[in-house]
Amino acid sequence: MLKFSDFQNSLKKNTLAPLVLYGSGLIGKLILESLMQKNIKVDYFCDRDEAKWNTEIKNIKVISPTQLKDFDKNTNIFVCYYTFDSIAAFLNEFGFQNLYEGSELLNDEFVTNIANKTIDVRSGYGSIDTNDTDVHLKVIRQIDFYNKMSFKDDYSRAGKLHLKSIDIQITEKCSLKCKDCCNLMQYYTHAKDSDLEMLFKSIDRFISCIDILDEFRVIGGDPFMNKNLYKIINRLVTYDKCKSVVVYTNGRIPPKGENLESLRNKKVMLDITNYGEISTAHEKVLEICRKENLAFSTLRTSVWTDSGRIMPYSNKNEKELENLFSNCCNADLISLLHGKLYRCPFSANGVNLKAIPQQDSDEVNLLDDNIDIPELREKIKKLAFDKKYLTACSYCNGRDYSTLKIPAAVQTKKPLPYEVK
């Protein structure tokens, strides 16, 4: 994919070609900000989210992919989301070749200005709005993800295995019982924590197979339900191949004692989802984070996609499954659960619950000592980069911008029933 410097060179030859930003989310808005600072005019945003069509961001109209299809094939398009390969393939089908990534626009100076709040990431950008004050760190983290993934081809050519993140699910327990949880916690009747010895062995073998990992994502359930959370955090920060450890929580359990001590490490950040009234300790958690100078971000969430149900088996054809998978915003959330790697948390927990049939091709068993490290590395690469869809896709409602929006975190009193496969 081309870079901003290539775009500048193209302007010397053709100043009339339209400029479109594909993706009107956070990264798209930040790339717009950077282009505006350079007095470069953006003609349109393009987005798959139907709710955004015909709206405007900074007086720039948001169009649909169908409308973009009819544009001049010399149109310059900046891809403003980190799934570069799938978006590029989609746009190539329309005949567009002038595709750019924006890492040179989101450079160190730009990030520094955000960190120093010289650039106001809230003002005038709609979906960046939040009632919480601690948003800048979340923004910087997303920029870091985007920029690192733009270098993925460079790593690949150098023989490096670079992964954006891995979800380390350390418990099936949660302090909430959300009936639409996309990680399927609402179906567990006898939720348990991950076995610590098994977990550490799994992570050791995984790390031995990869070269670069941007982020460990510690999830549940709620990680604070696992009494060994601090031991897990203290282990994860020791891996030099990984830059950061992010612990996700729902704002109901304030960190204290050894858990609090583990959060002081400079590689660790706490990501707090605020569900309003049911995030009963949200303000207390924020108070502790500020008092103890912990790295954290928080965001008010009131809407989910309807993606947290185990659906009856759907007889989708191969093309339909490929489309559902390629458009899914969770398809790159590689997940570790009970010694096995999966491509997404829905697949991991669906198989673990025996609600989705187990398929060897959809998982990597990190605990199989009969598989040596080179072979294990190849299996991880295939899982991460070669899958076109999963068995779980036939039981999933999909998770993209066309999926029905529902109220977030609606509670159920008891675990939901499901059919064991």
User: Is the same domain home to 109 and 156?
Assistant: no
User: Is the same domain home to 124 and 158?
Assistant: no
Which CATH number goes with the domain that contains 45?
A: 3.40.50.720
Q: Which domain holds residue 365?
A: 151-407
Contact residues for 31 (Cβ-Cβ < 8 A; gap 6+): 21, 78, 80, 102, 105, 106
Last residue of a domain, one of 94, 128, 162: 128
User: Is the same domain home to 210 and 291?
Assistant: yes
* In contact, 196 and 372? CB cutoff 8 Å: no
Give me the phi and psi of 381, to 5 degrees please. -60, -45
- Whether residue 27 lies inside any domain: the answer is yes
Residue 156 has a pLDDT of 63
User: Is the same domain home to 53 and 198?
Assistant: no
Residue 181 has a pLDDT of 97
- Whether residue 200 lies inside any domain: the answer is yes
Count of structural domains, the chain: 2
pTM, 2 dp: 0.86
- Whether residue 122 lies inside any domain: the answer is yes
- Whether residue 44 lies inside any domain: the answer is yes
pLDDT tens track, the chain, 421 positions: 899 999 999 887 777 899 999 999 889 999 998 999 999 999 999 998 888 999 999 999 999 999 999 999 999 999 998 888 888 988 999 999 999 999 999 988 887 777 666 565 554 444 343 334 455 677 888 888 888 778 766 666 568 899 989 999 999 999 999 999 999 999 999 999 999 999 999 999 999 999 999 999 999 999 999 999 999 999 999 999 999 999 999 999 999 999 999 999 999 999 999 999 999 999 999 999 999 999 998 888 999 999 999 999 998 999 999 989 988 888 889 999 999 999 999 999 999 999 999 999 999 999 999 999 999 999 999 999 999 999 999 999 998 877 888 999 999 999 999 999 8
- Whether residue 416 lies inside any domain: the answer is no
User: Is the same domain home to 193 and 335?
Assistant: yes
- Whether residue 123 lies inside any domain: the answer is yes
User: Is the same domain home to 159 and 118?
Assistant: no
- Whether residue 412 lies inside any domain: the answer is no
- Whether residue 304 lies inside any domain: the answer is yes
CB burial of residue 301 (10 Å; 0-12, 13-18, 19+) = middle
User: Is the same domain home to 124 and 203?
Assistant: no
User: Is the same domain home to 123 and 160?
Assistant: no
**Can you tell me the distance from the alpha carbon of 52 to that of 28, in angstroms, rounded to the nearest whole number?**
13
The number of angstroms, rounded, from the C-alpha of 382 to the middle of its chain's C-alpha atoms is 19
Which CATH number goes with the domain that contains 288?
A: 3.20.20.70
User: Is the same domain home to 304 and 394?
Assistant: yes
User: Is the same domain home to 166 and 42?
Assistant: no
Torsion (CA) 173, 177, 183, 184 in degrees, nearest 10? 100
User: Is the same domain home to 35 and 115?
Assistant: yes
User: Is the same domain home to 246 and 340?
Assistant: yes
**Can you tell me the distance from the alpha carbon of 53 to that of 94, in angstroms, rounded to the nearest whole number?**
19
